Amino acid sequence: MEVTYKKERRYFGRPTAFESKDEVLFNENSNRELSKNYVLRNPVDDGTQYGTRWSLSQANTERATYKHIGITHNEGGWPKDINMHDPEQTVRYKRKIEKDENYINEVMNLTKPMEQYILQNNAVNIYENYFENSEPAPLPEPCHSRTINVYRDPNPIKVPVTHLSWSPDGGLRMAISHCDMKFQGDKTGQKCNSYIWEIENPNEPYITLEPKVPCVCLEYNQKDPTSLVSGMYNGQVAAWDTRHGRFPVMISEREICHRDPVNSVLWNNSKSGSEFFSGASDGQVLWWDTRKLNEPLDRLLMDPVRSDEQDLGRSFGVSVLEYETTIPTRFMVGTEMGMLFCCNRKGKTPVEKIQIRMMCHLGPIYAIMRNPAFVKNFLTVGDWCARIWSEDCRESSIIWTNNSPAMLTDAAWSYTKVSQFFITRMDGVLDTWDLLQQQNEPVLTVKVCDEPLYCLRTSESGKFVTCGSKLGTTFLIEVSENMVTSNKNDKPLLTAMFERENRREKILEAKSREIKLKVKVNQAADQNDVTMVDGKFNLDAFKGIMEQVEAEYFAAVEQERLRRVPGNKQDAEESELSEAGSIKTRD
């Protein structure tokens, strides 16, 4: 049955009014048989409309029509009998028109439309590109980073990370050395393993290296991604080949190698591609060939005294080495006493090999790295600050950072952005500095972990940074795009900055040398006035001066001794007189 109710549109939406009437329209008795066909429905879905229903309506708004019109205005409208180029005739005609009665009314009628046109003309379209040929300025993007992968030491007893090295085959793998450098510490249960990890697989290492002695440093050969060299905790060096398994293919003899832990090893730019050199805490730098590790090729001691006779007892321990392949004969050595040695391999004597000695930091130098674009400028890290040096200035650095609240442990330049470098700290913080953006503070500070960060390496693509911690964990960090690429003006701006700071330091060095020389000349002149006669040393005058000084000294000692003797009346009277005289003098 279908019932249709019709209602006019104006009654839609009105509330329904119900009324009660005592009238039965339909009635039917219950049937018990029908209850057997009843089935309980569970669950029951029922739709309810909570929102207000609206009817659809459409309206056509009035659209404005626009068109572009150009106007060329030439002065005209003058009567034929008036020459518009004659100022007297035009002024006379203007005065005649202004005296007309309708002139003021016409001007007032033209005021309103003219004001409208002026306001439209003065309006600025903020979306219009007024300079179509110029490139839009890039929007400032904040620097940020994120941790992609974490590589943990698989052993139950965690060993600190001491060195990181990227593989030369596009950075697909990374060599990590683990070693506990604490002297006479409890090393029970610690393993000597180091690892090679695939970047995309942080679950298990690609190869586990198992030396008999822990590796302090582990370095890839930049010409061969299958060969590595390592420096051991006991002073030995070893050569590795990833194709031959987890044991070293060759290791040096204990008697002819270093006496202390090898802190740094680097490959040489040799024709064979198999030579490297190592530096250790015993103050020696040794050159090796992986094909013959039974004896070193050459030896150099980091003796601070400029002499051809070097002494191992006074040599400074080597903490880090630096080598640039574009300068094959030169290298730098950072020591545990804060002194930097600039050396030349081609020298025949130790004096010729060690060319420059510079005091850089108060404690050990933990990192040395040349700028990839400006090889004359290099970065050093030690104590609480990082310094940028120039080879032309030997007495002081040209740029340095503020003292950090925690000690710095390592640093590295970015390979793709010339003005940017990274620094790790003992409080687990990674600082990113950009010299062209700001020099008083880092552009990005990231809390990587709660334990100290010991080492740092940047990838050649400039996109990734790896940090090793005290608990044996290595973090792979990806930086934002604006921290990867350099702008086209970055290199000339950084060149101008380095040249300006270099010039300033040279001026300060020249003034300092001039002051020292003047003081030295004055002291020598004072001595010559007394002890020199006709350009020769006068021994009698010198002896007389020494006897006079000695007599004055013993007289002062005797007077002090008598003054302290109890019951000495003469001394007491003299002291009272001296005190009275001093009081009078003050008055």
CA distance 194 to 472: 10
- The pair of three-digit structure tokens given for residue 181, joined into one six-digit string: 């450098």
3-state secondary structure of 110: helix
CA distance 326 to 371: 12
DSSP label at residue 44? -
Distance of CA 1 to the CA centre of its chain: 84
Look at residue 578 in the predicted model and tell me its pLDDT.
44
- The pair of three-digit structure tokens given for residue 242, joined into one six-digit string: 């990833």
Amino acid sitting at position 476: L
pLDDT along the chain (587 residues), means of 10: 73 76 79 81 78 74 78 70 83 85 84 86 69 65 86 89 90 89 78 89 90 90 89 91 88 89 90 88 90 88 85 88 88 91 88 88 90 90 90 85 90 91 92 89 90 91 91 91 86 90 88 84 64 59 80 87 62 45 35
CA distance 269 to 275: 8
3-state secondary structure of 122: helix
Report whether 422 contacts 465 (CB < 8 A): yes
Q: Would you tell me the crossing angle of helices 539-563 and 490-531 to the nearest 10 degrees? A: 90
Peptide bond into 43 cis (omega under 30): yes
Three-class secondary structure assignment of 494-532: HHHHHHHHHHHHHHHHHHHHHHHHHHHHHHHHHHHHHHE
CA distance 91 to 16: 84
Look at residue 527 in the predicted model and tell me its pLDDT.
58
User: Which residue is associated with the tokens 């600082």?
Assistant: 431
pTM of the model: 0.65
Domain 145-509 sits in CATH at 2.130.10.10
3-state secondary structure of 173: strand
Nearest C-alpha neighbor of 318 from the set 270, 286, 351, 352: 286
Amino acid sitting at position 503: R
Look at residue 581 in the predicted model and tell me its pLDDT.
41
Nearest C-alpha neighbor of 147 from the set 415, 473, 413, 484: 473
DSSP label at residue 152? -
Nearest C-alpha neighbor of 473 from the set 514, 428, 523: 428
Amino acid sitting at position 223: K
- Which H or E run contains 387? strand 385-390
Terminal Cα-to-Cα distance of the chain (whole angstroms): 131
